[in-house]
Amino acid sequence: MRSVILLVAYGLGAFATVASGERARVCLSSVDGAIGPATASYVSRSIEEVQSKGAQCLIIQLNTPGGLLESTRVIVQKLLGSPIPVVVYVAPTGATAASAGCFITLAANVAAMAPATTIGAAHPVALGGFSGGDQSKPDQTMSQKLENFAVSYMEAIASRRSRNIEWAKSAVRESASITAEKAQELKVIEIIAPDLNNLLSQLNGRIVDGRLLRTIDAQVVDIKMSAAEQLFQMFWRPEVMFVLMLIAIYGLIGEMTTPGAILPGVTGAIALVLALYMSAILPVNVAGLLLIGLAVSLFVIDVFAPTHGVLTGGGLLAFLIGSLMLFDRRDPLFRLSLYYIIPSAIVTAAFFLMIVGKGLRAQRLPVKVGKETMLGKIVKALTAIDSNGGRVFIEGEYWSASSATPIKQGDAVKIIAVEGLTLKVEPKA
C-alpha cells in the first residue's frame, strides 16, 4: 500500500514539475585523491548545500587510494546521518575506492560503480601522526586494536545499509578487493553505470529512505571545493611536506649564513610551520626525521672541517635513508617516490657545499672596505704625536692621531684603532 502511495505521489510530482517547467536538480561533488581533513570538510559542506538547494540527492563521484581514518569517520557520520539521499559513484573507468574509499562507498544510501573500477583493500595501516615504522610488540598491539575497530566499524556500516557484511569484514581483515561486476553480484553495491547520465536514469524511480527519486533528465549542479579546501587538499601529500621541509632547511640555514637577508629566514620559517602542521596529520617516522637532521649537521660540519668531503658523503647517505624512512612505507599512499628523494639529496648536498660553504668562508675573509681596513697598517708621522694629538697621512687623507707613547715626526707608526675621526697609533717595533 505504501509503495502505491509513493508511486502516486511520484506521478503527481512529476506532472507538477512538467507543468511548471521546472527541472529536478541533483548535486554533484567530486572527490579525487587522498581522504583528509579538507575532504571531510568538503563532503560535510556539500551535504548542507544539497539541503538548501532542494536537490533530489547528492552524488559523490569518488576515486581515492585511501586516507586518514579520522577523516573517514567524519565523512561516514555525515553520510549515515544525512537527511538527503547520498549516492557514492566510484568513477570514472579505472577509478578505485580503496581503504577509506571502501568505508565511504558502503556508507552511502546508494552505492554505484563504473565498469572496470575496484573497491576494497580496507585494512588500516596508520592512524595518522607519528609512526615508528617497525614491527615491535607495542606497534603490533596497536595495529591489532586498530584492525578490530575497523572491522566492527565496517560491520556496523554494512549492516546499516543492508550490504554484504561478510565481504565488508574481509575487506578489512584480508584486504579483499573486487571489481564492480563482482561487487554487484555480492550485493556490495546496487548499480553499475558507465556514465553519469546512465546513473541518473537508473536512480530514477528508486525509493531511498522513504523518498522517491526523480532524476531522469535532472539538472546536475556541481559543488566545487572552496579555495581553502583546495589549498589544504594540495598540502595533504607527503611530497608537499618533503618539499616544505627542504625549503625550511634552505631558508633557515641561508639566513644564518647571510645575516640580514630576511627573505630566506621568513620563507624558511613559514615553510617550517606548514611542515610541522602536516607532520601532525601524516604518519611521520621520527627515525627518518633524525637521520635528515643528522645529514644537515654533517653538511654544515664539513664546511668548516677539512674532511675532504667524507662528512658530505656520510650526510648524503643519511639524507637518502632518512627520506626513505620519513613516511610509513607499509601504506602505498604515503610512499615517497625516488623521483623526489634522489634529486633532492643531490640539490641539498650542492646547496651546502657551494652556497652555504661560500657564504661561511666569505664571513671569515678579512675586511676590504671601510675604516677597519686601516688597522695594522704602517705610516709615517707627519707631526710629533702624543696623547694630545698629532697628524698622519693615509690612503690619500689626513687623519688626526694620538698615542700613549710620544712619537717623533717622521717616525713609523702602526695604527691600532679607529675612534671616530682619530686614529690610535703606537711606535712601530
**Quick check: 67 and 37 in contact, CB under 8 A?**
no
Asked whether residue 269 falls in the same domain as residue 170, the answer is: no
Q: Which amino acid is at 182?
A: K
CA 229 to chain centre: 13
Dihedral sign for Cα atoms in the order 161, 162, 165, 171 = negative
Kindly give, in sequence order, each residue whose CB lies less than 8 Å from that of residue 43, ignoring residues fewer than 6 positions away: 29, 31, 60, 75, 78, 79
Last residue of a domain, one of 194, 213, 230: 230
Asked whether residue 39 falls in the same domain as residue 169, the answer is: yes
Asked whether residue 377 falls in the same domain as residue 354, the answer is: no
Asked whether residue 320 falls in the same domain as residue 402, the answer is: no
Last residue of a domain, one of 210, 230, 250: 230
Asked whether residue 140 falls in the same domain as residue 278, the answer is: no
CATH number (domain holding residue 420): 2.40.50.140
Last residue of a domain, one of 173, 201, 230: 230
Q: d(Cα 269, Cα 251) in Å, to the nearest integer?
A: 8
**Quick check: 273 and 245 in contact, CB under 8 A?**
no
Q: What is the pLDDT of residue 304?
A: 67
User: How far apart, in Å, are the Cα atoms of 351 and each of 88, 297, 340, 345, 346?
Assistant: 48, 13, 16, 10, 9
Asked whether residue 335 falls in the same domain as residue 406, the answer is: no
Asked whether residue 110 falls in the same domain as residue 200, the answer is: yes
End-to-end CA distance of the chain: 120
Asked whether residue 184 falls in the same domain as residue 262, the answer is: no
Asked whether residue 22 falls in the same domain as residue 76, the answer is: yes
Asked whether residue 305 falls in the same domain as residue 353, the answer is: yes
Asked whether residue 258 falls in the same domain as residue 225, the answer is: no
CATH number (domain holding residue 157): 3.90.226.10
User: How far apart, in Å, are the Cα atoms of 158 and each of 4, 105, 168, 255?
Assistant: 28, 10, 7, 55
Instruction: Tally Cβ neighbours within 10 Å of residue 2.
Output: 8
Q: What is the pLDDT of residue 144?
A: 80
Kindly give, in sequence order, each residue whose CB lies less than 8 Å from that of residue 89, ignoring residues fewer than 6 positions away: 59, 60, 61, 62, 112, 113, 114, 193, 196, 199
Q: What is the pLDDT of residue 131?
A: 34
Q: What is the pLDDT of residue 127?
A: 42
Question: Which residue range is the domain that position 308 belongs to?
Answer: 237-363
Instruction: Tally Cβ neighbours within 10 Å of residue 365.
Output: 7
Q: What is the pLDDT of residue 17?
A: 44
Q: Which long-range contacts (CB under 8 A, 24 or more apart) does 178-185 make?
A: 178/118, 178/119, 178/120, 179/116, 179/117, 179/118, 180/90, 180/113, 180/114, 180/115, 180/116, 180/117, 180/118, 180/119, 181/115, 183/111, 183/113, 183/119, 184/113
Q: What is the pLDDT of residue 109?
A: 95
User: How far apart, in Å, are the Cα atoms of 376 and each of 217, 324, 416, 426?
Assistant: 92, 54, 6, 10
pLDDT in tens, 38-61: 899 999 999 999 988 889 999 999
Asked whether residue 419 falls in the same domain as residue 320, the answer is: no
Q: Which residues of the chain have pLDDT under 70?
A: 1-22, 125-139, 257-261, 280-281, 303-309, 328-334, 353-373, 429
Task: Report H helices in 21-160.
Answer: 37-53, 69-80, 100-106, 137-160
- Run of H or E including 120: strand 118-120
Number of domains in the chain: 3
Residues in the chain: 429
Number of alpha carbons in the 13 Å side-chain half-sphere of residue 244: 19
What is the value of pTM for the model shown? 0.66
User: How far apart, in Å, are the Cα atoms of 195 and each of 60, 112, 181?
Assistant: 13, 11, 15
pLDDT in tens, 368-417: 555 666 777 888 888 888 777 788 887 777 888 888 878 888 788 887 78
Query: Three-state DSSP class for 204?
Result: coil
